[in-house]
Structure 1
């Protein structure tokens, strides 16, 4: 037996055993997490950034990293964007009557179409409650980052921020040439001719490209409408701007994609003035809340690690996980 085959077998065994162990631990933690003694507890604590009037509060949320479903971070990747926690924070902003506005700092190249739209919907709900929403763009707020920013009352960007990249992308890798050179063949039994439309073991046909393009066009049309409504632009203008390119803060302002250029302190000052609440308290949510937050974090890390094991197994199985993305790939 060759060394390569032995290594492949060992890796497969490690992956399978790792999956079983992590699934078992996840089940135990989930059981603890879902006990009646913790269901009413809150994984977040509040940390005051600026003292002020507690009856007119501003919640400062930060979205940092690629927008993806799940808990992010994990044992391989360290700290990262946690979609589950971020949605919960948005719900807290919506449901807390003492919170009159939200400052959202965005620093992301975008991400999945579905999680981006979930955030967009939450922000719309917050606005329907009569709460102000201001966005401050960090070094990058592109594609999905702009998607979630579009409904804000005002959008500010730093002088060196990059934004735009309005569009949708989907990609997959074609390994057919490599497989041919290695003498590898894949046997596929399918119910319809397009069931393996994104197979990495063969070239994509022209008809299949048209099918996938139609899917992306639907996501793109939604993106265009969201920018049109949020920025009060004509559809023709949005489509002219939405060729996928990235814009500097100066270009974005001249094209009406943002309102002002300035740093976070200027954004906050303008927001307080707009709210007629110059002495408003500003706070952020933190997950440093003791035992419950530790359990919540442990469950998140285990879930992420399980997902990463699945990703590794997908590589060995040659699975395609291509999906439409609101993502800037620079």
Structure 2
């Protein structure tokens, strides 16, 4: 009975959507980004961009379509901002456990390119979490500020791959592989890695970790004794991160706006803007929902969030992975 009802509901939804004129109740990736003023006045502008969720360059898949990836959403705003010479400062509002190695590196590079091309000052405001890849992206900023209750750190890389060989043995199922080289099945979930393969994987992990560590050394003035602790990939509270030199201060989002105005040499009451696809009444700096594509939860569930991370290399704090 339940299956029949669900089938009728889905069929009815499809028929209604197909027969009725398009009603844009929710913004999607096809709606243009529009400039919205949040506060302030004058010709000088501070742009606020949210980086929220797991950092990936893969489209967010739903039951009835897909939405642009986080990398696409952030990069499209940076490209739009490059065309506006009145934007003197950028505040990145980050709430992310990190993401894939490549996607994190792309965002870092795009922010660095934006700074070089525009000369704008950039300040990060960490919210609940800016760990691993979230911190990696933060390193592109001129200053990093954390909310008093933020978590950050996790400066390291992890290689995620499921192993189900033991389970298959218990139920009497085997997987046979024909391969052209002895390491072709490295990381294969149905068998244990050989010692040689483990060394290869650890070497790659080391390479990606070294890149992360190098950026920390480049952008932060941290003593070797503190770096040794940071490179254990532990997580830090805001107070601990400030003491270790990972951030420049503890404060709130408005404090980050004040800081970027000071760095850019513009008035504190300068116009603060964001790019959105939909207007919200009485909007504020804290409205992350309108900063990225939103969809009706019943119809467009991000099915990727229902599954564990796929095999790959991540700058990611796993306990908060979405």
Among candidates 276, 291, 308, match of residue 286 of structure 1: 276
Give the equivalent residue in structure 2 for 1:82. 70
Conserved 8 A contact 1:225-1:235? no
Seen in structure 2, the aligned counterparts of structure 1 residues 200 and 285 have a Cα distance that, compared at 3 Å, is same
1:271 maps onto 2:253 in alignment: no
Residues 88-119 of structure 1: CA deviation (Å, up to 9, x unaligned): 11222233212111000000000001010010
Seen in structure 2, the aligned counterparts of structure 1 residues 77 and 260 have a Cα distance that, compared at 3 Å, is farther
| TM-score scaled by length of structure 2 | 0.77
Give the equivalent residue in structure 2 for 1:21. none
1:126 maps onto 2:106 in alignment: no
Give the equivalent residue in structure 2 for 1:218. 207
> Structure 1: how far apart are the matches of 2:200 and 2:78?
35
> Structure 1: how far apart are the matches of 2:68 and 2:130?
16
Aligned length: 275
- Structure 2, unmatched stretches of 5+, are 1-17, 19-29, 280-292
> Structure 2: how far apart are the matches of 1:94 and 1:234?
36
Q: Secondary structure at the match of 1:324?
A: strand
Seen in structure 2, the aligned counterparts of structure 1 residues 146 and 204 have a Cα distance that, compared at 3 Å, is same
> Structure 2: how far apart are the matches of 1:283 and 1:203?
52
Seen in structure 2, the aligned counterparts of structure 1 residues 251 and 78 have a Cα distance that, compared at 3 Å, is farther
Q: Secondary structure at the match of 2:185?
A: coil
1:148 maps onto 2:148 in alignment: no
> Structure 2: how far apart are the matches of 1:178 and 1:122?
43
> Structure 2: how far apart are the matches of 1:106 and 1:264?
10
Among candidates 280, 300, 312, match of residue 323 of structure 1: 312
> Structure 2: how far apart are the matches of 1:230 and 1:282?
27
Give the equivalent residue in structure 2 for 1:19. none
1:181 maps onto 2:170 in alignment: yes
Q: Secondary structure at the match of 1:173?
A: coil
Among candidates 32, 38, 44, match of residue 33 of structure 2: 44
Give the equivalent residue in structure 2 for 1:108. 96
How far does residue 67 in structure 1 lie from its aligned partner after superposition? 0.5
Q: Secondary structure at the match of 2:125?
A: strand
How far does residue 42 in structure 1 lie from its aligned partner after superposition? 7.6
Which deviates the most, 74-83 or 157-166? 74-83
The within-5 A match list for 1:21-36 is none
Residues 267-303 of structure 1: CA deviation (Å, up to 9, x unaligned): 11122122221231111111239xxxxxxx79xx9xx
> Structure 1: how far apart are the matches of 2:316 and 2:216?
16
Seen in structure 2, the aligned counterparts of structure 1 residues 232 and 76 have a Cα distance that, compared at 3 Å, is farther
> Structure 1: how far apart are the matches of 2:103 and 2:64?
22
How far does residue 143 in structure 1 lie from its aligned partner after superposition? 0.2
> Structure 1: how far apart are the matches of 2:37 and 2:80?
16
Q: Secondary structure at the match of 1:126?
A: helix
Which deviates the most, 237-246 or 57-66? 237-246
Seen in structure 2, the aligned counterparts of structure 1 residues 306 and 259 have a Cα distance that, compared at 3 Å, is closer
Residues 75-98 of structure 1: CA deviation (Å, up to 9, x unaligned): 499989632121111222233212
| TM-score scaled by length of structure 1 | 0.75
Runs of 4+ in structure 1 off by over 4 angstroms are: 76-81, 234-237, 304-308
